[in-house]
Copies of this chain bind each other. A is one copy, B any other.
Amino acid sequence: MANITKKVSWSSRGDDSGLTGEGTPLLNGSEIPKPSRQDPIRGRPKEIPHNEKLLSLKYESLDYDNIENQLFLEEERRMSPMGFRCLEISRWVICGLIGILTGLIACFIDIMVEKLAGYKYQVIKENIEKFTEVGGLSISLILWAVLNCAFVLVGGIMVAFFEPIAAGSGIPQIKCYLNGVKIPRVVRLKTLVVKVIGVICSVAGGLAVGKEGPMIHSGGVVAAGVSQGRSTSLKRDFKMFEYFRRDTEKRDFVSAGAAAGVSAAFGAPVGGVLFSLEEGASFWNQMLTWRIFFASMISTFTLNFFLSIYHGKPGDLSNPGLINFGRFESDSVAYYYYEIPLFMCMGALGGLLGALFNSLNYWLTIFRIRYVHRPCLQVMEALLVAAVTAAVSFTMIYFSNDCQPLGPERNEEYSLQLFCADGEYNSMATAFFNTPERSVRSLFHYQPGSYNPMTLGLFTLTYFFLACWTYGLAVSAGVFIPSLLIGAAWGRLCGILLASFTPTSPIWADPGKYALIGAAAQLGGIVRMTLSLTVIMVEATGNVTYGLPIMLVLMIAKIVGDYFQEGLYDIHIKLQSVPFLHWEAPATSHWLTAREVMSSPVTCFNRIEKVGTIVDVLSNTSTNHNGFPVVVQVLDSDEPAKLCGLILRSQLIVLLKHKVFVELARSRLSQRKLQLKDFRDAYPRFPPIQSIHVSQDERECMMDLTEFMNPTPYTVPQDTSLPRVFKLFRALGLRHLVVADDVNRVIGLVTRKDLARYHLGKHGLEELQLAQT
């Protein structure tokens, strides 16, 4: 019934697992992945796998399960109730700081973009106006292209050469981080700096991008930095918040940072909280959520406060986000219930267009992975896109003859008259010759008749391809605003067409409303977020009444889109071969049990283990394990060794570094006892084993792991079904799960990668390859 691929005994090894490395390392160094062994029964031709058929072993996992070893318990027991209260207060202080800093960054980006883009458009506008009369507009085009390229060049070089992880919106990376995957360098200060400068350059450079997505990443970086009370990049340790120097706490703060980012970007504090929860916190905790909400609120308040001062209206707290959809004033009736089927059709269209967008971007990304991986090539591609964007925009404006009267209520900052009569402006130019945020707002709110259908159609078409080409470039940029813009354009088009069919009652097909629905549909079709996106849209709209249609539209867009292609972020996560755990185990995975899923045999350590053995195991590059069950052998008995704990590579490294050997402890009685502080100081960049020198004499020493290992690791019997194991993993944020038999012997180890390997494909349960890439 359930068509599952036959389970083959598995000999590759994840970096998280503790397999014994016997025989030659099968996959070590083999860059080329083996063809996937899916569905051998059907005998379909084995196609050359793309990257998404692989799971990379290079990504380590985060330890979200507290290591409750003796040191930790002693510390907790020493702490008074007042101590716990102080900790709680510092958590709140940190969240407040995260909110303030994220808001300030958003403020900085906004002001810089406005300044630079304003300057650019002013120069070009003057130039165009000059040449419209005298002819020779091609000079204007060149000027436009050169200015765009200049900005993009700066941004592209920053990203491609200094910090490639800062490319894109950063949302997939933050998703992975919150999911429990350690993406290298994702929460570093350098990444933040490159990201901020990069996003300013790419928006000012006129690319089809938004500045909102990167805020989420920026918030995450701020949170990771503030909560640790030190910066490894700046080599400053403020000796604060040392308690929070572990993955569990840091993750909580990064959730708060991401939420603060969303909140600043869209003025949507609740949407931010829901985003963080949707993506991250599998274990919902009331206090944590409340803190996340606090950070979000502070962030949007800070942004609003400083922007209101900047705009000369201090105290006006009505612009809570970077993007603001403006007020949809529903004087009487927001929408009629018979419009709902129309909205749902638009949702389906959004899903289709979103799937098309994602598919195109998918192929483009594969192409980029194969051929455009050198930094200079990446910068050149970015420059090409910038020039093409300018050229296309210019051409569209040039050949457009959609002239609209320049009404008194329009305060167009960069309205182009071009070939229009005096007192009129070029309508195509409001869409192209503008920052995307302003274009979205104009599509939502301009009166019926401000755009003609031809303009909107052409704009949708060109912007669709431009945005699709742009996403994935080596520039910092978000896809939210371009998606909204495409959707708003065709949504408004729908509204105009509908109104033209029923000219007698034109009120009900208000094009602005349809633009909003179209924007939601397109964005939902591309990113496939659900609850949080609904709330973000509603908060950005500032009108709860549109909640139901937006929700329905997003739902339909997701269902239709998912039929063809995954969401854009998921595609990029998959193409990176990240071992990402979804919310639930695949539905048809009850066939599998821990026995089949686990890696086995497992490298275990004895409770008192020889230093040489530990060093050898840790140095074995072919296995590169991270978690090791600790076993105890009853002396003078042939009973099997029993599980008594679990120890991590990072802990062993610290122990080796501090030479916590039994013999030394005996000889030097006064030796300082290793404390939790030593582990915290080393966190998160534990040195590699190669950097730790262990002499031949020391190799013969013994190490007592009792105090440092986690004495109560979670275990499951080998008959536990995959969904049950999965639930345990997700609910507790595990990294390693020991599989034990009925006398408590270790028989296997389940890691994140063992679970992420299974997914529901078109032909039932499929299994991904593990690869060292």
Known: A2-B81, A711-B717, A732-B727. A743 touches B317 (CB 8 A): no
Contact B80 A2 (CB under 8 A): yes
Q: Are A1 and B79 in contact (CB under 8 A)?
A: yes
Task: Let me know if B77 and A591 touch, CB within 8 A.
Answer: yes
Query: A287 contacts the other chain (Cβ, under 8 Å)?
Result: yes
The CB with the most chain B CB atoms within 10 A, among A289, A335, A728, is that of: A289
In the complex, are the beta carbons of B317 and A335 less than 8 A apart?
yes
Which residues on the B side are within 8 Å of A583 (C-beta)? 285-287
A598: which B residues are within 8 A, CB to CB?
A: none
Residue of B nearest to A1 (CB): B80
Task: Give A267 to B332 CA distance when docked, in angstroms.
Answer: 17
Distance in angstroms between the alpha carbons of A305 and B545 in the assembled complex: 12
**What residue in chain B is nearest A710 (Cβ atoms)?**
B724
Chain B residue nearest to A85 in the complex (CB):
B587
CB-defined interface of A299-331 with B at 8 Å, one 1/0 digit per residue? 011000100000000011110100000000010
Cβ A277 vs Cβ B284 within 8 A = yes
A329-358 CB mask vs B (1 if < 8 Å, else 0) is: 010111111000000000000000000000
A538: chain B residues at CB < 8 Å are 270
CB distance from A54 to the nearest CB of B (A): 24
Instruction: Indicate if the CB atoms of B551 and A294 lie closer than 8 Å.
Output: yes
Distance between Cα atoms of A591 and B459 in the complex (Å): 66
Given contacts A77-B590, A315-B336, A590-B73, contact A721 B68 (CB under 8 A): yes
How far, in angstroms, from A79 to B743 measured CA to CA in the complex? 34
| A71–chain B nearest beta-carbon distance, Å | 12
Do A76 and B334 contact each other (CB < 8 Å), given the known contacts A283-B731, A293-B531?
Answer: no
Contacts of A318 in B (CB 8 A): 330, 332-334, 545
**Would A534 and B293 count as touching, CB distance under 8 A?**
yes
Contact of A584 among B285, B530, B712, B732 (CB under 8 A): B285
B residues less than 8 Å from A285 (CB atoms): 583-584
Contact check, A283 vs B286: say whether CB atoms are below 8 A apart. Answer: no
Judged by a CB distance under 8 angstroms, whether A588 is at the interface is: yes
**Bound CA–CA A740/B742 (angstroms):** 11
Residue A755 interfacial (CB < 8 Å): no
Does A450 sit at the interface, judged by CB under 8 A?
no
A259 to chain B: closest CB distance in Å?
12
Contact B297 A590 (CB under 8 A): no
Interface: A576 (CB within 8 A) = no
75-122 of chain A: CB within 8 A of chain B: 76-81, 84
- Judge if A282 is at the interface, Cβ distance under 8 Å: yes
Give Cα A714 to B728, complex, Å: 10
The answer to whether A284 touches B282 (Cβ under 8 A) is: yes
Q: Which residues of B are found within 8 Å of A601, using beta-carbon distances?
A: none
Question: What sequence of 0s and 1s flags, for each residue 263-276 of chain A, a beta carbon within 8 Å of any chain B beta carbon?
Answer: 00001011001100
Partner of A548, one of B301, B316, B721: B301
A557: CB under 8 A from chain B? no
| A317 in contact with B333 (CB, 8 Å) | yes
CB proximity of A11 to chain B, nearest CB, Å:
26
Do A286 and B293 have beta carbons less than 8 Å apart? no
A337 and B320 contacting across the interface, CB-CB below 8 Å: no
- Contact yes or no, A81 B764, CB < 8 A: yes
> Are the C-beta atoms of A289 and B77 separated by less than 8 Å?
no
Contact pattern, A 161-179, Cβ under 8 Å of B = 1, otherwise 0:
0000000000000000000
- For residue A457, CB closer than 8 A to chain B, the reply is no
Determine the chain B residues whose CB is within 8 A of the CB of A731 once the complex forms.
283, 731-732
Asked whether any CB of chain B lies closer than 8 Å to the CB of A719, the reply is yes
A78 contacts B1, C-beta separation under 8 Å: yes
Determine which of B73, B335, B730 lies in contact with A721 in the assembled complex, contact meaning CB atoms within 8 Å: B73
Chain B nearest Cβ from A536, distance in angstroms: 11
Nearest-Cβ distance from residue A63 to partner chain B, whole angstroms: 14
Picked from B282, B286, B531, B555, the residue with its CB within 8 Å of the CB of A530 is B286
- A535-B270, A760-B81 as given contacts; A284 in contact with B284, CB under 8 Å: yes
Output the least CB separation between A401 and chain B (Å): 39
Is A33's CB within 8 Å of the partner chain B?
A: no
Whole-angstrom distance between the Cβ of A678 and the nearest chain B Cβ: 20
Counting chain B CB atoms within 10 Å of each CB, the highest count among A300, A542, A551 belongs to A551
In the complex, chain B residues whose CB is within 8 Å of the CB of A68 = 720-721, 723-724
Q: Residues of B contacting A81 with CB < 8 Å?
A: 2, 587-588, 760, 764
A543: chain B residues within 8 A (beta carbon):
542
Q: Does A418 contact B (CB under 8 A)?
A: no
Q: A320-B545, A743-B744 are in contact. Are A719 and B711 (CB under 8 A)?
A: yes
Give the complex CA separation of A106 and B551 in angstroms: 22
Given the complex of chains A and B, what is the CA–CA distance between A78 and B1 in angstroms? 6
Given contacts A281-B284, A714-B716, A731-B731, 11 further A-B contacts (CB under 8 A): A1-B80, A66-B724, A73-B590, A76-B590, A270-B535, A284-B284, A287-B583, A293-B534, A297-B548, A317-B335, A712-B717
Report, nearest first, the 6 A-B pairs whose CB atoms are least far apart: A731-B731, A84-B587, A76-B590, A712-B720, A284-B284, A286-B583
Instruction: Provide a sorted-by-A list of 10 A–B residue pairs whose CB atoms are within 8 angstroms.
Output: A77-B590, A77-B591, A81-B587, A81-B760, A285-B584, A290-B530, A300-B547, A317-B333, A711-B717, A731-B731
